Structure 1
């Protein structure tokens, strides 16, 4: 069974076909010297350098993606914090309006409307706080990943 037949049937060939690699003679000489020093074949030395290069590039791409996500999360957390502060002020005003309605014995409709407004403010605040907590978790995990990646490099 030749290599094409084995690949078609889902089996990997025992050995990959040779790949003729052209390179400048001075580069080849340097790689041969490095291979000799590390007690590897020229092919193994070339593969090692390619693997390191590809892994470094993948690592740099992941690092760039992490930084981009970190900036986006930082901005979103800042926005949520500003919105929370505004919503807390609204909640305070609505609670004061409800207290005034009860204190001044306003009609049941006015009190009920103030209670509904306050309940809506509380609901919005809960949703915003949940979003803030969720984004903070993501932010913390991302920072941890970035710190771990920094220690590896």
Structure 2
């Protein structure tokens, strides 16, 4: 399938081990969402992020599960399915807590969904997958749609 990038994985893991040994604090890292997929276990990803290796060192892994960043059109178009499938892949591979970053920006969202609906679909998938919480990212630090989504969720759940 491609070259072996074990040396890059070892470099990332050595850095994390060193940081943990000198900082004496819980370590949380974010990784690309694709790191959660099964093919990543083969260490053929040139970014050098190997889920099992990283999970042996850190206390929490936060995969960036932005559906818009996947190449496959079906993953871009299905925020619920993308987050759910990706989290299930990761949870099958490691026991460390997984706390995903979710997409709170409008890049490549399906035309039939509003951004708050898109956010809610991701939240539902994260919760159903057993995620250890979740985080949000917006490159402009504009979280107004996130607040709108959270208000909608609160109204749906009732008092």
The two structures have a TM-score, normalised by structure 1, of 0.21
Please identify which structure carries the higher strand content.
2
Structure with larger Rg: 1
The two structures have a TM-score, normalised by structure 2, of 0.20
Please identify which structure carries the higher helix content.
1
